[in-house]
Structure 1
Amino acid sequence: MTDSQVSPQWLIFAGGRILPTAPGVYLWSSLPAGCDDIRQRHPLGYAASDHAKGGVVAVEVNLPDDLYEQTVPVRQAIIDDSVQGFLLHQAASLVNWGRSQKCCSRCGEALKESERVDDRARICPSCDYRSYPVVSPCVIVLIHRDEEILLAQGVRHPAGFFSLIAGFVEPGETLEQAVAREVKEETGLDVTDIQYRNSQPWPFSHNLMVGFTARYAGGELTLDPEEILQADWFPLHKLPQLPPPQTIARRLVDDYIATRVMASEDADKT
């Protein structure tokens, strides 16, 4: 069998949920019976060669009741993700976009998929307008003050669950300006030494989380009640319940703790 004949693997979505092939496993080697009513499909990967070699295809289907009962929420699947890299994130983002982007925003005509397998555009047959998947940049920031970090419980978080300050980038802003603004709006604090750390796609619905650290520069905690239920400074050795390890928020916290531990060990050696 040549590369061009390789059969794809499948990620199967239905109604905002995903069908596992086993607990915590979501790649199917073939579409199971009852998945022939495909509402949308998206070849995954980041280059034309990925699509040409079979790769992974995300589909949204109408599932029969017995299969739909086996589905799990996409958010749970992201946390349990056993799919290599960020294919599941990409798949969920594209399916969310495809579900909402059905008609031309210019003339209202129904959009059609591009005939090119490596082109994600949806094209209006009436006015030729091309619609592409949306990516919404968000900043998320770990704020530190000596041996403490600021953690907050958002209005949508479960009780006892704390995370970092985050928010969408506004038009005309740099990422660093967005960090400073979001922190000021949600907590009343000023920050400095804003440094990029890493990023993560987050398909709820099509976000790109851009992670930073920042040093506390002044101010008293004054919370935005529409966004934050409570927030406080926590010592690194006594942190509350945090987001799962697969999230950028947790990686920022873990990386910062590791950096402080290394700095302390280096200081002990001198």
Structure 2
Amino acid sequence: MGFIPQNKPPAEVGAKVPLYFIINDQEIIVKWSRDKYWIPSETDISEYDFDLKRTHFVGSWNDQFCYASEFPKNLSIPDALQSIPLRDAFTQFSSHEIQAISLAKQILTWDRDFRFCGRCGQPTVELPDERAKVCKRCGSTNYPRLSPSIIVSVVKKDQLLLARSARFPKGMYSVLAGFVEPGETLEECVKREVMEEVGIEVQNIRYFGSQNWPFPHSLMIGFTADYFRGEIGIDNDEIVDARWFTASELPKIPGSYSIARKMIDHFRSSSLLENRIKL
């Protein structure tokens, strides 16, 4: 059984020891045992005087209740546990655990950012039966934020368009991505982002897949598209380099946990298949 997201806290104590997803902005506390990382249980942390802040029930995994807690950056972590970057955690855990980590991170971000009403400035209170915060003074209700973003692989014959951002690790390239703006469709966003970032036009936009991305609260919606016309011209703002690559000459690319990598792998496998058919 995988991870099951839930909003309402359990009425009774579970049959198994709960798990704790202890997270701050960039890190998660994990346990190293039997040559792998584990999400710590209540037993693992009970002997330590952790100053955990704002604990939230987020669901259950293999019949274990799951809780998200924020820890301060100056927390003294015992030798039995350790903190690792959240992005690294995505390479160490199963898809079900990654789903739970993503949800925990987004709930903690929402809880931190909406402690006060954005309309009148008064403190908010969390509703007992749904994931929402309400202002008792003006009635404004805020739900966990979700920001839709497109990510697109653009293909020109046997080449894939990859670009490099200044914030990427050295030598890494990826497909293009950007946030959806008010008033536009996803397809319009694809066309706008590609034009703004690399100066070309695309056509034949097709849905590929999606991925939750908790940095801080994105929903990545993937598309493929075909090159239509234009020459690459980078914006020198978000993008510092962009090139066409064949499947056999790909540069350093994102990790396997990301939808960007899945899109690049799809291009690579499709190219290899086409080459075999030609042979």
TM-score, normalization: structure 2?
0.84
- What is the Cα deviation at residue 35 of structure 1? 5.3
- The CA deviation at 1:15 is 5.3
**Relative to 1, partners in 2 of residues 1:83 and 1:143: Cα closer, same or farther, differing over 3 Å?**
closer
Q: 1:28 is matched with which residue? A: 40
Conserved in 2, the CA contact under 8 Å of 1:152 and 1:232? Answer: yes
Would you identify which runs of 4 or more consecutive aligned residues in structure 1 move more than 4 Å? Answer: none
Structure with greater strand share of residues: 2
Equivalent residue, structure 2, for 1:75: 87
* Maintained 8 Å contact 2:52/2:69: yes
- Kindly state the Cα deviation for residue 181 of structure 1 after the two structures are TM-superposed: 0.4
Partner of 2:120: 107
Alignment partner, residue 53 of structure 2: 39
Is 1:6 equivalent to 2:15 in the alignment? yes
Q: Say whether 1:180 aligns with 2:191.
A: yes
User: Residue 242 of structure 1 aligns to which amino acid in structure 2?
Assistant: I
Alignment-mate amino acid for residue 210 of structure 2? S
- 1:166–1:22: structure 2 CA closer, same or farther, 3 Å change rule? same
Greater mean deviation of Cα atoms: 173-182 or 3-12: 3-12
Q: How far apart are the structure 2 equivalents of 1:182 and 1:14?
A: 31
- Say whether the 8 Å CA contact 1:26–1:83 is kept in structure 2: no
C-alpha separation between the residues in 1 aligned to 2:147 and 2:256? 23
Superposed displacement of residue 265, structure 1: 3.5
Post-superposition offset of 1:168: 0.3
Q: State the shift of 1:145 in Å.
A: 0.7
1:266 Cα deviation after fit? 4.2
Answer yes or no: is the 8 Å Cα contact 1:122–1:131 preserved in 2: yes
Contact 2:150–2:178 at 8 Å: present in 1 too?
yes
Residue 171 of structure 1: aligned partner: 182
Secondary structure of residue in 1 paired with 2:245: strand
Q: Give the length in aligned residue pairs.
A: 260
Q: Distance in 1 between matches of 2:182 and 2:247?
A: 35
Instruction: Confirm or deny: 8 A CA contact 2:155 2:226 kept in the other structure.
Output: yes
Secondary structure of the equivalent of 1:84? Answer: helix
The one of 111, 133, 140 equivalent to 2:151 is: 140
Q: Secondary structure in 1 aligned to 2:241? A: strand
Flag structure 2 segments of 5+ consecutive residues without an equivalent.
1-11
**Other structure's SS at 2:263 match:** helix
Alignment partners' CA distance in 2, 1:101 and 1:78? 26
Contact 1:211 1:248 in 2 (8 A): yes
Deviates more, 1:58-67 or 1:164-173: 58-67
Gaps of 5+ in 1: none
Q: CA RMSD in A?
A: 2.5
Q: Distance in 1 between matches of 2:244 and 2:106?
A: 34
Q: So what's the TM-score if we normalise by structure 1?
A: 0.87
Q: Following the alignment from structure 2 to structure 1, what is the Cα–Cα distance between the partners of residues 153 and 168?
A: 17
Could you say if the C-alpha distance between residues 149 and 16 of structure 1 is closer, same or farther in structure 2, counting changes exceeding 3 Å? closer
